Amino acid sequence: MSSSSFYPLLVIFSILTTCWGVKASDSSSKPPEKIGAGYCLLSVEETGDGGLLGLLEVNKKNSVYGSDIKHLQLYIKHETEQRLRVHITDATKPRWEVPYNLLPRSSPPSLKKALPKSTKRKAPSLVTPMEYSGSELIFSFTTNPFGFAVRRKSNNDVLFNTTAYSSSAFNNLIFKDQYLEVSTSLPSSASLYGLGENTQPHGIKIRPKEPYTLYTTDASAINLNTDLYGAHPVYMDLRNLNGKAFAHGVLLLNSNGMDVVYRGDSLTYKVIGGVLDFFFFAGESPLAVVDQYTELIGRPAPMPYWAFGFHQCRWGYHNLSVVEDVVANYEKAKIPLDVIWNDDDHMDFHKDFTLNPIAYPRQKLEAFLDRIHSKGMKYIVLIDPGIAVNSSYGVYNRAMADDVFIKYEGEPYLAQVWPGAVYFPDFLNPKTVTWWGDEIKRFHEMVPVDGLWIDMNEASNFCSGKCVIPQGIKCPSVTGPGWECCLDCKNITKTRWDDPPYKINASGKVAPIGFKTIATSASHYNGVLEYDAHSIYGFSQAVATHKALESLQGKRPFILSRSTFVGSGKYAAHWTGDNQGTWNDLRYSISTMLNFGIFGVPMVGSDICGFYPQPTEELCNRWIELGAFYPFSRDHANYYSPRQELYQWATVAESARNALGMRYKLLPYLYSLSFEAHVSGAPIARPLFFTFPNYVECYGLSTQFLLGRSVMVSPVLEQGATNVTALFPPGSWYSMFDMSHVVNSKEGANVTLDAPLHVVNVHVYQNSIIPMQQGGLISKEARMTPFTLVVTFPVGAEEGDAEGSLFLDEDELPEMKLGNDKSTLVSFYATLNKKAVKVWSKVQEGDFALTKGWAIEKLTVLGLDGVIAAGLELMIDGNPVLDLPDVEITTTDLNFVAKDDEDATMKSLMVEIKGLNIPVGKDFAMSWKMGFSG
């Protein structure tokens, strides 16, 4: 039942009003940018599902960007207690929407009554705003010009308001076939995040007057403020009201190209098609917003444990011997490595699902895979969507026989990518999904890969327009760059789809929307236009690829996709595309990573050390120190760049051993965060405001980030720097590399930390319990080592509590959940009460962990006051354990970094208890009491 059913509907049903005559907004008294006079709400009625259904009529048509659609249908529904939907579309005929089978959601009802043939204009009978109330959000509307607002019920704060006043810099609602415009006023104090994918040079916080265009393009990530590979029309709004933070989210579910204009006090959507399908998420914490968002779009995909290990790739591993050498050199350098990748070097002339018989002979590749698989290592290869037009190529022939390609004027649309002339599969066609799955199965039988990398799926095309294969010319040539168009092409501008009336800022330069991609007048299954479906191409490919991999051997799929859309995180991970080996790109990578966590794609990272050109040795040092803590951690380089594997420089190898060594110790924590992400959408890497929403100083911070709630990474991002100034929100922060060092930030402070070349600063916050293991060179080995629990209390506190969790499972099962006899969830708790310390666990479904033999060997407790008393009685499950010969208790005085006068007189301890052998799969309780110092 809808939550709104429990609240009175303060509305008038059936015909509300006839509409007041309104002057057209293109009169001489209006600014020239004003378009139209908006719409009038003619009627509204309650639907059987507890929603509202209304009819809108345009006040006065105009021809700017095309003719207005006369009648619109308005549907409003409190879909959950925290989610409100506002859907506006043509009342007379269907319009393009993101396919409901691709992104499942409820379908709006249709108006039952016939539309009025004419409307008399007279004074409205309804002049006051009317309300439709839910549990958390209230929808209100005015009739003429129609406008709506959404406000928070608890404090009456207006979250979204489309009403345009004479002084507003934006228009009332505009709804034409190829131009939709709607705006909201905003308080200048609102902090906005999201609206991507783009490289934001100034950090994660959206800035006024910078372009935000959403349209998937193969524009490398080095292009700033440009629409890149993904399209995510969602933002989070964080406001601090009288010292308390409130966050909410807004999604416009629309796949058409759009510009979003943020002015600081308003935000305007300018969309070139589709419908207005808004979803409002009440929050009110940042984590709650992402939870509510991913509840709608799909929870992030479960990731196998090995995916959190380190990955190595390069475009330019010319033969299998080079790949074998890379693996051997990582082992020799004692740098952890879990996954080795191939770009397209393994292919036969860049053709999908093939092997180069000379460079990657099948028998030798199979033997290599047998060797690395026996160690627990994995192998992933790239596939592009473009299928080479080649009658001797079985994949092509089967595709033609099944008629799976996107069409233009009845024939497969011809484009060019790496193999030369290609056709693009239409993943909206069910037959294509079946064919694609069959090709993946055939390839997997030949090469048992452990995941797939779907690239170039915006879709990227080296040409534009209508093309034919030239006669007598080798295309592509062997000598020239592979990305130069060598087909014979003509521009396509003859339709309104190829040349729409409103030009979005595509590619950051108002490029034609068919530029270097599929012509927008090309057609998909059931006549769907590329114009509408363009930005969901990579998403639809990820869905098809996930379905195919899941059917193979019953394993958990791993897919890395370049192009993403709303809901992609349910199927794939993402890397941020072609970056440069520069200090700026190092810094930009943090913002993009944090945005994708908000987008519901938590498994994300950038090419470590940069895709091109070769980074300096110092930069690569600093990049692996940062990249070791990306959720998805991979070194990847360009074909034309010198080698940059982490062992190529002795200094980088040392930094890698240090940073990745810590990552591999934290693998159980990272994997538990991935379970949290799968269950609730929670980002793995988060902005600091997720944990500290009331601390406004961190709202624009983009140079540090959190892993989960508690672990903060503060990397060096500047050339030549040997220290880093980091923001520490209020509380006690302990160094992960030397836990005896603590930053005690009482009210929050910027602290300068030492950071010589091989050092990255990582701190854990008070009130946390972090499960760690001993690390190793491969995750399969590391995850079988004994556990350490790190417990953090506030320095000097007489009372405190801490908590954490640990999720363990058979990590290659398709589902990541409890209840299958193949998983265990442990909740850890700790309390400090007048020097009495207690640490305990609650285990759900512990049999799995018991069969694996996992045990806690060490406990580290930080922030304790006092001393270990002589004759200390350490109890485990009520039994004294001091008589056990292997148990060793040590204490270390904490060192205060940037200490003040109060810190100078304070003494606090780290207590370590080693030699334990506590089964992870059983509840336990450990306690002791600190003595008094002095």
Q: What is the mean pLDDT of residues 261-272?
A: 97
Query: Can the peptide bond before residue 476 be classed as cis, meaning omega within 30 degrees of 0?
Result: yes
**Measured between alpha carbons, how far is 843 from 804 in angstroms, rounded to an integer?**
12
**Measured between alpha carbons, how far is 513 from 499 in angstroms, rounded to an integer?**
8
Q: What is the mean pLDDT of residues 347-356?
A: 97
- pLDDT of amino acid 639: 87
Query: Residues 706-754: pLDDT tens digits?
Result: 999 999 999 999 999 999 999 999 999 999 999 999 999 999 999 999 9
> Is 352 an active-site residue?
no
Q: Which residue has the higher pLDDT, 123 or 95?
A: 95
Q: Which residue has the higher pLDDT, 590 or 872?
A: 590
Strands 787-792 and 855-864: parallel
Domains and CATH numbers, the chain: 38-107+125-297 (2.60.40.1760), 305-673 (3.20.20.80), 687-931 (2.60.40.1180)
> Phi/psi zone of residue 135: left (φ > 0), alpha (ψ -120 to 50 degrees), beta?
alpha
**Measured between alpha carbons, how far is 561 from 563 in angstroms, rounded to an integer?**
6
> Is 912 an active-site residue?
no
Query: Residues 3-34: pLDDT tens digits?
Result: 333 233 334 333 344 464 443 333 333 334 67
- pLDDT of amino acid 480: 57
Least confident of 98-107, 548-557, 787-796: 548-557
The band of 418, judged by pLDDT with boundaries at 50, 70 and 90, is very high
Structure tokens at 261: 């204009």
- pLDDT of amino acid 30: 36
Q: Name the 3-class secondary structure at 326.
A: helix
Q: How many CA atoms lie within 13 A of 531 on its CB side?
A: 24
- pLDDT of amino acid 878: 86
Strands (E), 662-815: 685-686, 705-707, 711-714, 723-728, 731-735, 741-745, 749-754, 761-765, 768-772, 787-792, 799-809
The single residue of 338, 578, 857, 865 carrying the catalytic annotation is: 578
Structure tokens at 717: 């991002």
- Number of Cβ within 10 Å of residue 884's Cβ equals 14
Strands 232-241 and 191-196: antiparallel
- Fill in the amino acid letter for 853: G
**Measured between alpha carbons, how far is 902 from 920 in angstroms, rounded to an integer?**
39
Query: Residues 223-266: pLDDT tens digits?
Result: 999 999 999 999 999 999 999 999 999 999 999 999 999 999 99
Q: Which residue has the higher pLDDT, 19 or 37?
A: 37
Percent of the chain with pLDDT over 90: 85
**Does residue 113 register a pLDDT over 80?**
no
Q: Give me the sheet containing 685-686, strands edge to edge.
A: 685-686, 705-707, 711-714, 761-765, 731-735, 741-745, 895-896
Q: Name the 3-class secondary structure at 228.
A: coil
- pLDDT of amino acid 875: 87
The band of 873, judged by pLDDT with boundaries at 50, 70 and 90, is confident
**Measured between alpha carbons, how far is 404 from 505 in angstroms, rounded to an integer?**
31
> Is 157 an active-site residue?
no
DSSP 614: P
The band of 901, judged by pLDDT with boundaries at 50, 70 and 90, is low
**Does residue 807 register a pLDDT over 60?**
yes
Strands 378-383 and 339-342: parallel
The single residue of 45, 458, 585, 676 carrying the catalytic annotation is: 458
- pLDDT of amino acid 906: 78
Q: What is the mean pLDDT of residues 699-710?
A: 98
Using alpha carbons only, how large is the chain's radius of gyration in Å? 29
Taking a C-beta distance cutoff of 8 angstroms, is the pair 337, 777 a contact? yes
How distant is the alpha carbon of residue 452 from its chain centre? 18
Residue 324 parent element (H or E): helix 320-333
- pLDDT of amino acid 904: 61
Percent of the chain with pLDDT over 70: 92
**Does residue 127 register a pLDDT over 90?**
no
Helices (H) and strands (E) in the chain, counts: 14, 55
Query: Residues 833-850: pLDDT tens digits?
Result: 988 999 999 999 999 999
Structure tokens at 526: 């059931």
- pLDDT of amino acid 919: 97
The band of 479, judged by pLDDT with boundaries at 50, 70 and 90, is low
The single residue of 426, 455, 532, 645 carrying the catalytic annotation is: 455
**Does residue 278 register a pLDDT over 90?**
yes
Least confident of 110-119, 155-164, 401-410, 880-889: 110-119
The band of 907, judged by pLDDT with boundaries at 50, 70 and 90, is confident
- pLDDT of amino acid 118: 53
**Does residue 59 register a pLDDT over 60?**
yes
- pLDDT of amino acid 934: 47
Query: Residues 624-635: pLDDT tens digits?
Result: 999 999 999 999
Going 543 to 549 to 552 to 553, the CA torsion angle's sign is negative
Q: Which residues of 474-491 are buried (b: 16+ CB within 10 A; e: fewer)?
A: eebeeeeebeebbbebee
Partners of residue 744 on adjacent β-strands: 732
Quick one: 63 exposed, middle or buried, by C-beta within 10 A (0-12, 13-18, 19+)? exposed
Q: What is the mean pLDDT of residues 171-178?
A: 97
Query: Residues 759-770: pLDDT tens digits?
Result: 999 999 999 999
